Structure 1
Amino acid sequence: MATYTFNVTMTCTGCSGAVERALKRLGGINKLDISLEKQTVVVETDHSLETVFETIKKTGKAVTVAS
């Protein structure tokens, strides 16, 4: 299991909700922490980094992998 942190541009609760819905549809998410204030998404999952990244990207939000 891996934990990934992403910087995601979210301007409102609708944005964070869209990211949350997309990741829940993906399934296999053990822990999900979305912070609108910090503009971060932390995901604990068995999926690859690329899979999670692409799922978030499909929401139309600007996303980068946090260093």
Structure 2
Amino acid sequence: MPKHEFSVDMTCEGCANAATRVLNKLGGVQFEIDLPNKKICIDSEHSMDTLLETLRKTGKTVTYIGLK
């Protein structure tokens, strides 16, 4: 599965929890949240657009970095 890396404007554990909630609702994803570096790496068959749209539901600024 491709690993997509995103920059997410997370400032606290609450932000990371919001990202975890929306990604778990999407289903079929494995992810790692790097809070200090404000990055999320997602292992998923979903398209990059779907993942980006899902992460934006947190209300945070999200930028696609690329494949890891």
Distance of 1:35 and 1:4 partners within structure 2: 13
Q: What are the equivalent positions in structure 2 for 1:24-43 lying under 5 Å apart? A: 24-29=24-29, 31-43=30-42
The number of aligned residues is 66
RMSD: 0.8
Counterpart Cα distance in 1 of 2:47 and 2:35: 23
Report SS of the residue matched to 2:46. Answer: coil
Please name the residue that 2:54 is paired with: 55
Give distance in 2, aligned partners of 1:50 and 1:34.
Answer: 19
Percent same amino acid among aligned pairs? Answer: 41
Paired residue secondary structure (2:40): strand
- Asked whether 1:7 is paired with 2:7, we answer yes
Q: How does the TM-score come out when normalised to structure 2?
A: 0.92
After the TM superposition, which parts of structure 1 deviate over 4 Å for at least 4 consecutive aligned residues? none
* Partner secondary structure for residue 52 of structure 1: helix
**Equivalents in 2 of 1:65, 1:52: separation in Å?**
9
State the 1:58 CA deviation.
1.0
* Aligned counterpart, 1:45: 44
Q: Describe the SS at the equivalent of 1:51.
A: helix
